[in-house]
Amino acid sequence: MTFLYKADPARGEQWARLFAQKAPELAFRVWPDVGDPATVRYLAAWMPPDDPTRTLPNLQVIFSVGAGIDQFDLSGVPAHVPVVRMIEPGIVEGMVEYVTQAVLTIHRDLFDYAGFQQKREWREMPVRAAASRRIGVLGLGVLGTAVLERLRLFGFPCAGWSRSERVIDGVDCHAGIDSLDAFLGRTDVLICLLPLTDATRGMLNARVFSALPQGASVINVGRGAHLDQEDLLAALVSGQLDSAILDVTEPEPLPADHPLWTHPRVRITPHIASATRPESAVDVVIENIRLHRAGLRMIGQVDRARGY
Ligand code: GLV
């Protein structure tokens, strides 16, 4: 029985070493070294091969090596083959770190101080209390929840918005499209951790920005396609938005002549906010194989109708 890995080959070698220790009964192979395709039961991929069940006729489960599965073409995956998103402690920790630094960059006025430094200007700004900076997270999955649970400890008033009802201790949770504007109206720093679906594509747009308080900031750690980049630039010019921190863009890489690169109130990182850590991810994948064999629902199993 084979476990096939189809993503970054260097990480594949790490997965192979961990699988050899932890699940020696599975033959582990790294794409394109597939061996006999009929023996492949499990596939972990960033991009599965086209028509995966024709290429791998006995495939039982497809694991994404990332938190998202929007890059998958699920139309070619039959309903009996479950698809699983990566939910593992390493990717959660990385995301909490990244979003915390982004929120603190905005909260502690580091965009302003970067400008002062360029001018060699020793200038103080009043320090605002965390209690006066309202944080809002779009998307209350495992990542959004973990981010809010950490940010709450700084004393920021925290709220979240998701499609369905959620309860998070100490967080004001809003659910459904009818409550979106109430959520936005109380949000000074908006963080996008939504899955990318047809319902969320382009959701960070002029309408949403206008529902935020004037001078709000946006952090996008979802997908580039969540954000309308033209609307963002317009909202920065008009002053409706103060600043933006983007870990994802559309396209990636962002073209060198794109105006977002040089905007003084925009910080860009190249999709590095978080990544799956093989040491912790392999344990989750092995546990999921056990759950699947027992006929149980796996951690991160995608609801095909919802798209995440
Ligand atoms: C990266 O963006 C991921 O989906 O893990």
User: Could you tell me the pLDDT band of residue 161, with boundaries at 50, 70 and 90?
Assistant: very high
Angle at 106 between CA 240 and CA 110, to 5 degrees: 115
Q: Examine the residue annotation and report whether 123 is marked as an active-site residue of this protein.
A: no
- Domain presence at residue 298: no
The CB of 94 under 6 Å from ligand 1? The reply is no
Ligand 1 in contact with 224 (CB < 6 A)? no
- Average confidence (pLDDT) over 133-144: 98
- Return d(Cα 237, Cα 129) in angstroms, integer: 27
Query: Rounded distance, CA 10 to CA 256, Å?
Result: 28
Same domain assignment for residues 237 and 117: yes
Atom of ligand 1 nearest to the CA of 91: 5
Percentage of the chain with pLDDT > 90?
A: 98
Answer yes or no: is pLDDT of 197 > 90.
yes
User: Is residue 236, in this structure, part of any structural domain at all?
Assistant: yes
At residue 249, the pLDDT reads 98
Q: What is the mean pLDDT of residues 67-81?
A: 92
Number of domains into which the chain is organized: 2
33's CB contacts (< 8 A; 6+ apart) are: none
* pLDDT, averaged across the chain: 97
pLDDT, tens digit, 9 for 90 and up, residues 262-298: 999 999 999 999 999 999 999 999 999 999 999 999 9
In a domain, 308, yes or no: no
Same domain, 98 and 113: yes
* pLDDT confidence of residue 76: 85
What is the residue range of 224's domain? 89-268
Within a domain: residue 305? no
Whether ligand 1 lies within 6 angstroms of the CB of 66 is answered as yes
Residue 299 in any domain: the answer is no
pLDDT by residue (tens digit) across 76-123? 899 999 999 999 999 999 999 999 999 999 999 999 999 999 999 999
Residues 204 and 282 grouped into a single domain: no
Please tell me whether residues 139 and 17 are part of one structural domain. Answer: no
Angstrom distances, CA of residue 205 to CA of 71, 108, 251, 288: 22, 26, 17, 37
Best mutation site among 8, 70, 72, 91 for ligand 1 pocket (most ligand atoms within 8 Å of CB):
91
Task: Judge if 107 and 20 occupy the same domain.
Answer: no
Q: Is residue 147 part of a domain?
A: yes
* Residue 223 falls in the annotated catalytic set: yes
Q: What is the pTM of this model?
A: 0.96
State the alpha helices, DSSP H only, in 67-141: 89-107, 110-118
* CATH code of the domain covering residue 25: 3.40.50.720
Across 146-167, b (16+ Cβ under 10 Å) vs e yields: bbbebbbeeebbbbbbbbeebe
